[in-house]
Amino acid sequence: MTDPQQDPQPETRKPLPGMAAVALYLMLLAGTIVVGVVSGGHYPPLFLLFSVVFVTASAGLIVGFRWAWALALAAVFLLACYWGWTFSIARSAAPAVQGLLNLVFFLYLIRPEVRARLH
């Protein structure tokens, strides 16, 4: 039995499941870019900068930093715009699905509950 006079255990701040999903998605994109650059020039070497930004945003988002939230928000918004533009040109399903996935992540990140958890 616990003594009611004792201070309760400090609550550890875990990331929200959606923030963890966005962080995992950004890590997956970073890995895809690295493999694409290394394995024969699918992407230009300058894209490695995007990979660094995605990894930084992912790690900071797990910790709960506001700057990482802003970085991840910008990344998914720009990716949603890029895939929307690609869909308007190609008219295929793959860019539409990618754009909608990024749009869902963007809409999740702008929720007030998510912003309230950041420090």
Please write the tens of the pLDDT for every residue from 94-111.
999 999 999 999 999 999
For residue 6, being part of any structural domain is answered with no
Instruction: Give 47-79 pLDDT, tens digit per residue.
Output: 999 999 999 999 999 999 999 999 999 999 999
Q: What is residue 12's predicted lDDT score, i.e. its pLDDT?
A: 64
Provide the domain count of the chain. 1
Task: Say if residue 11's pLDDT is above 70.
Answer: no
For residue 2, being part of any structural domain is answered with no
For residue 24, being part of any structural domain is answered with yes
For residue 11, being part of any structural domain is answered with no
Range 3-19 average pLDDT: 68
For residue 63, being part of any structural domain is answered with yes
Residues in Cβ contact with 26 at an 8 Å cutoff, skipping those fewer than 6 apart: 54, 55, 57, 58, 61, 72, 75
For residue 28, being part of any structural domain is answered with yes
Q: Residue 76 corresponds to which tokens in the numbers above? A: 């998914």
For residue 104, being part of any structural domain is answered with yes
Range of the domain at 25: 17-116
For residue 45, being part of any structural domain is answered with yes
Cα 54 to Cα 98: distance, rounded to the nearest angstrom: 16
Question: Model's pTM, two decimal places?
Answer: 0.82
DSSP-derived secondary structure letter, 44: -
